[in-house]
Amino acid sequence: MQFDQNYDDDDAKALEGEGKGRRFSDFDCPDCNANNPHDGFGDGDEIRCYYCGMEFKVTVSDEGRLKLREA
C-alpha cells in the first residue's frame, strides 16, 4: 500500500501528524485479542483480523485514539 503524501486538503493539514490523521502499523483485534501487524491504516479504513477473519471499520478520534467497530 502506498501513502499519498501530497494530497491537497486544507482541512486535513491542521490534523496531520498526531490526531485524526495518525496512521497505525498494528492493532489488537477487539474480538480475539490477536495482535495484527499492518502495513498502515488510519481513519476511514477497513481492516481485517488475520486470525479470526473479522472486519473492522477504523475511526481515529481528534486526539489520535484508535477505535475499531465491527464492519
**Contact residues: Zn ion, CB under 5 A:** 29, 31-32, 34, 49, 51-52
The minimum distance between CB 8 and Zn ion, in angstroms, equals 36
Q: Which grid coordinates belong to 27?
A: 492493532
3 vs 51, which CB is nearer to Zn ion?
51
16 vs 55, which CB is nearer to Zn ion?
55
Q: Which grid coordinates belong to 44?
A: 476511514
The minimum distance between CB 11 and Zn ion, in angstroms, equals 33
- The three-point CA angle 69-13-44 to 5° equals 15
